Structure formats: C-alpha cells, structure tokens
Structure 1
Amino acid sequence: MEIPEMKLILAKLDRLERLTTFVATTGKTVVDVNDIAKMEGSSYSAIMHGKDMYLLPRFGQSAYPTGKKRWPVEEYMEWSAIPPQERQDMYREYLRKRSPASP
C-alpha cells in the first residue's frame, strides 16, 4: 500500500524533473502557452479556449505587458506545484467572482 504523501512527493519530483529538463534542453527562462501545454499534457487550443485555462499562472494573465502570454519559469514552477484539481477549483472560484451576480 502506497502512502498518499509519497504520491504527492513523487508528483512534485516528476514535475521538477520535467521543468529542469525543459530549461536544460531549451535554455529558456520564460515559458509560454505552448510550453505549458506540452508540459501539462494539454494543447494550446484547449488552454486558450478556456477548457484548461487553470493550467496557466494567473489564469492566463501574462507576467509581461507586451507580446505573447508568458511567465518566468520560476513562477510556473510554483504554480505547477499546486495539484491540478486544486488549480481547477481555484479557477472556478476566480470565474465565479468575476461573473456578475445572477438576479
């Protein structure tokens, strides 16, 4: 029987390994939507059309004011350390707060 905490630790190690490999192979210190889609097992269109928007830091608001949406690798690493289900719940709450109150 596996310890639940061990699953969480292994998931974090896997994510860290993928990000380290990304930086080592690409030399990039900034990630964009395509990079995140590849690392998260999603697609650009699924993310940008809202289905997987919760995978992006700041729910898609870029860290940079001009150009395409992108974030420092460190920010994405912190964001991706949060379990996907928790990020999805946070995104739903974010949308709920942004939508006007129903009559």
Structure 2
Amino acid sequence: MRTLSKVREFAGEASNALFNKQQAVTVTLRLLEMEANDPNNTPEESRILKTAISKAEFRYLDLTRTDTDTLLDSLGVARFTTQDIVSAVEDIIFNAQ
C-alpha cells in the first residue's frame, strides 16, 4: 500500500486538534474516501480502500461503552486526537487487506 498522502496531510495540519465523536467519525470516513478517490491508486489499492470504507466501524476509534462515555458523548466533549483518527484509518485499511 502506498503512502496515504491525505492522511499524512491531515496529521500535519491537524496535529494538535481534538474532535468530538461525530467529528472523528466524519473525518475518518472522509479521509478514507479521499484516499480511495486518489487517481494515483493502483486497481488493488482502490479495491482495498473501497473495502475499507464498507467495513469502517466506530470500534476502530473507541471501544469504551461506560456511563461516563455516554455522558461525554451527550455533551459533545472533544476527546479524540488526530493520532486516534490516523490510527483508526490505518487499522481499517490493514483489516481490509
């Protein structure tokens, strides 16, 4: 798999950003879509990335299911880092291969 240029760009530009759950999910999916739409993809890379999009689940970002987790989510607390999102994208792609 080639270098994920859009993910690397995001990691650089949003290095200190925090995201709430909805934002983190949206950014994760958008990054996967942007990588999948890269015209430099090989057919195999395109296939893997499209599979990754179809298999993306929130568990790649957060497995926590506590009352505190629910409270933080209901308040829209920003607690997902850029690195959390980058790691989720990489894990989703790895599992799609």
What band does the TM-score fall into relative to the shorter chain? 0.3 to 0.5
TM-score w.r.t. the length of structure 1 is: 0.37
**Structure possessing the higher radius of gyration over alpha carbons:** 1
Higher relative contact order (CA 8 A, sep 6+): 2
